[in-house]
Amino acid sequence: MTSYDYDLFVIGAGSGGVRASRIAAGHGAKVAVAEEYRYGGTCVIRGCVPKKLFAIGADFHEAFEDAANYGWTVGPATFSWPTLMANKDKEIARLEGIYRKLLAGPGVEMFDARAAFVDAHTLDVGGKTVTAETILIATGGRPTRPTFPGAELTITSNEAFELKEMPKRVIVLGGGYIAVEFAGIFAGFGATVTQLYRGEQILRGFDGDVRNHLAAEMRKKHIDLRVNTDVVKLEKRGAELVATLTDGSTIVADAVMAATGRIPNTSGIGLDKAGVALDKAGAVKVDEWSKTSVANIYAIGDVTNRINLTPVALHEGHCFADTLYGRKARKPDHETIASAVFSHPNVAVVGLSEAAARKKYGDVVIFRSTFTPLKHTLSGRQEKTLMKLVVDRATDKVVGAHMVGADAPEIIQGIAIAVKLGATKAQFDATIGIHPTAAEEFVTLRTPVA
């Protein structure tokens, strides 16, 4: 019988890799994990957590303004980017420490080094050769840059979290969730923001009403959002950046952020030596059990390019560990996953868009409401909240729920349970609302839109 150094070796200590490692070790497996950067991965170090902290911070300028009509007198407010960055760094360091403790507790051995395949059971880890019966790839993804001349002058979300000074004039390239989030963040901190997207509307793949509503709200917040527009050239002139657009016009900025896509981290880790197959996008190809083309090698999270969300990576890692080491075989469930965009205002959804529901079910019923939230009846702000339900007429099941507005992610998380369990519109209607809240609108929508 072949003897290996470890039952399981995990490459990457992001959310998915850490979850898989500690659950497998908890089931009794001998586990090691390698991480070349910082424990916690994209989400903790330079993704979800710092981004939401920034988004929260960017909300305060409106809160100060809104307070006036509630009787508060607020003195002149100033903002310190270095203070925010220092406090963010302290919090990220604290969370990284927690991730290391989560691994140390069940006895996972940690390598602070890059791991690369030598063969299907052998890895080079920072110059040391180790073997494992099973290897899990959890290396995540990274942002890409465009290919126009001068694209090397752009920053990505990675660098945005390390800026020494806040730029006063920012161009954000892209129309996905990272682009709209950072456009709102920079605008909230007082920058002049121009967002450029080459498509016809931001948030491709989201419900059409959500896309249009958010675009309108972002423009109310003085974000110069331009669709069907792209950069063809970027030049540095002194301390400034000059972007030439597709229509021939130019914009001067202090920073240009490219939020135009992410790719799986599959290069440079010897996957070809192990025989692991990749798809056309460079993602690791896996089956429904997260198994790759090689029997003893698995992959989870963004490196597989299935559903690139932190909770999904956690779920996939947990399923993997339970299946192989916990005698509880279960496949990852990728159906009806709720998600959020921490834009200004927030977006949250679960289930199908109206277009996707019509394609799948044919006959659907749409319930939609747009209203001024109670807070802004006194603040005077012209912000509107959107709520929408998509219902399959044949079964009366709610197959999609969508919201744009304050606290949308907190509200949709609860709605997601109902949608996941197959709740009907009649059951939504039978639920008594909590008054006065925005959330009650989801159980008081009675009249379908035409």
Is pLDDT at 130 greater than 70 in this prediction? yes
pLDDT digits 0-9 by tens, 366-394: 999 999 999 999 998 999 999 999 999 99
pLDDT digits 0-9 by tens, 70-127: 999 988 889 999 999 999 999 999 999 999 999 999 999 999 999 999 999 999 999 9
CB proximity list for 444: less than 8 A, separation 6 or greater: 433
pLDDT digits 0-9 by tens, 392-408: 999 999 999 999 999 99
pLDDT digits 0-9 by tens, 162-220: 999 999 999 999 999 999 999 999 999 999 999 999 999 999 999 999 999 999 999 99
Domains recognised in the chain with CATH numbers: 6-142+263-325 (3.50.50.60), 151-260 (3.50.50.60), 345-443 (3.30.390.30)
More confident residue, 324 or 380: 324
Question: Mean pLDDT, the chain, as a whole number?
Answer: 96
The share of the chain scoring above pLDDT 90, in percent, equals 98
Using CA atoms, how far apart are residues 60 and 58, in angstroms rounded to an integer?
6
Q: What's the pLDDT score for residue 2?
A: 67
pLDDT digits 0-9 by tens, 327-375: 999 999 999 999 999 999 999 999 999 999 999 999 999 999 999 999 9
Q: What's the pLDDT score for residue 450?
A: 81
pLDDT digits 0-9 by tens, 254-289: 999 999 999 999 999 999 999 999 999 999 999 999
Is pLDDT at 1 greater than 50 in this prediction? no
Geometric angle at alpha carbon 298, from 292 and 301, rounded to 5°: 105
Q: Which residues are identified as catalytic?
A: 435
